[in-house]
């Protein structure tokens, strides 16, 4: 991974939370950038003498002094806290390795997608052919303990740290609110490939493409799914972005390019210095009628994609107001293999609107208890019918 990879993240859903380290701000986009230029110590304005003195005195004179590693971690955490940036995170080397693997779409865990909640994280998806599915974990169950420890009051990231581990090791997870009532399941962690895309042909020529993340290769998999559905007779598409917390920014742009004309605007990244960097479609050949499904778990890269298609008039957006994540995080690799993630930019829709705190407003809002996919498929059928009645040019 480039040491200056750029990540767009959002907080709320932990993408395959228990399959990797929580990106407590959700990972929603990464794009390569130039390697950083080393800074000459003489050019640094801050005087680190006081920091060094504090470190030495605490190490030598404090009662029960923390270890050198703990003091260093505390100093780093303190610097990040001064940023007033809710997405700023320090990863130790092991956590950083897991973070990078998650961005690449491969995980070691049990195969759950979770949503943060006051009473403990709720299961919102169980990945197929994973330890969690084989054990019968249900959507809607709530994690309340890990290896006998009550985790209901722990931050999501800490819960992930407890559940994540090496392939082949066991973890006991306590659940509540499932059909079997409170229970504990011993799950054996496994290597998991995130199924980025699930596709099926519905009735009357409607193709359903469910994109669950924007890790590496997402755009290629969407393109393959669309080609397969078209070969099966699909005349229109539902692009389902529900509970999709995002991934790589370049993949979001590439997916948008499948449906937009060449050079159509997709997103603009506004750097910390005010410089704006527009990103445009490379152009695709998918001109089938299109409806996009979103919900409150659709964040960042999902919002970029849905917003670009909506702004261009290419697709109607159905569902719930999306999460509202409009800032860009950058990842920096440190010399010991650890890493930092912090906000360096914001992104704007083609209309110039920022999504931060607001999100995408659907063209048609659908309540949680309604069948959104049925409504989206019905609209696609209407669009197919209207296209068939349109006079040829």
Residues with a known catalytic role: 300, 325, 329
Helices (H), the chain: 49-61, 68-81, 93-103, 131-134, 156-163, 218-231, 249-259, 301-311, 372-389
Residue 97: Cβ within 10 Å count: 16
Task: Indicate left, alpha or beta for 42 from its phi (over 0: left) and psi (-120 to 50: alpha).
Answer: alpha
Find tokens 């890493």 and name the residue.
339
Q: Which residue has the tokens 């993340």?
A: 213
CB 133 within 8 A of CB 146: no
> Looking up tokens 């997709």, which residue turns up?
266
Q: Which residues of 115-153 are buried (b: 16+ CB within 10 A; e: fewer)?
A: bbeeebbbbbbbbeebbbeebebeeebbbbbbeeeebbe
* Contact assessment for residue 109 and residue 160, using Cβ atoms and an 8 Å cutoff: no
DSSP track, 331-381: EEE-TTS-EEEEEEEEEE-TTS-B-TTT-PPPSEE--TTS-HHHHHHHHHH
Compute the C-alpha angle 213/215/219, nearest 5°: 85
């Amino acid at each position: 991974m480039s040491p200056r990879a750029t990540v767009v993240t959002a907080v709320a859903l932990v993408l395959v939370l228990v399959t990797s380290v929580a990106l407590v701000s959700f990972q929603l986009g990464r794009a390569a950038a130039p390697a950083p230029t080393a800074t000459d110590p003489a050019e640094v304005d801050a005087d680190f003498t006081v920091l060094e003195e504090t470190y030495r005195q605490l190490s030598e004179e404090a009662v029960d002094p923390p270890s050198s590693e703990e003091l260093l971690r505390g100093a780093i955490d303190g610097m990040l806290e001064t940023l007033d940036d809710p997405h700023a995170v320090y990863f130790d080397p092991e956590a950083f390795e897991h973070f990078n693997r998650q961005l690449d779409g491969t995980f070691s865990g049990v195969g759950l997608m979770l949503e943060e909640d006051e009473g403990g994280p709720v299961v919102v998806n169980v990945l197929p052919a994973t330890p969690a599915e084989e054990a019968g974990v249900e959507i809607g169950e709530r994690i309340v303990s890990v290896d006998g420890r009550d985790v209901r009051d722990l931050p999501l990231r800490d819960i992930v740290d407890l559940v994540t581990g090496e392939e082949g090791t066991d973890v006991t997870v306590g659940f509540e609110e499932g059909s079997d009532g409170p229970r504990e399941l011993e799950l054996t962690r496994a290597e998991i490939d995130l199924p980025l895309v699930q596709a099926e042909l519905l009735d009357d020529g409607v193709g359903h493409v469910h994109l669950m993340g924007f890790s590496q290769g997402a755009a290629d998999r969407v393109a393959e799914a669309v080609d397969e559905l078209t070969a099966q007779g699909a005349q229109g598409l539902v692009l389902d972005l529900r509970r999709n917390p995002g991934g790589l920014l370049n993949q979001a742009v590439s997916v948008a390019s499948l449906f937009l004309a060449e050079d159509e605007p997709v997103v603009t990244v506004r750097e910390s210095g005010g410089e704006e960097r527009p990103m445009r479609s490379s152009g695709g050949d998918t001109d089938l009628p299109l409806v996009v499904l979103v919900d409150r778990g659709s964040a960042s890269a999902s919002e970029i994609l849905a917003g670009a298609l909506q702004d261009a008039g290419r697709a109607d957006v159905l569902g719930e107001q999306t999460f509202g994540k409009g800032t860009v995080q950058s990842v920096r690799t440190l010399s010991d293999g650890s890493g930092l993630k912090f906000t360096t930019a914001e992104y704007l829709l083609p209309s110039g609107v920022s999504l931060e705190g607001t999100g995408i407003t659907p063209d048609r809002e659908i309540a949680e208890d309604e069948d959104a996919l049925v409504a989206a498929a019905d609209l696609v059928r209407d669009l197919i019918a209207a296209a068939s009645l349109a006079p040829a040019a």
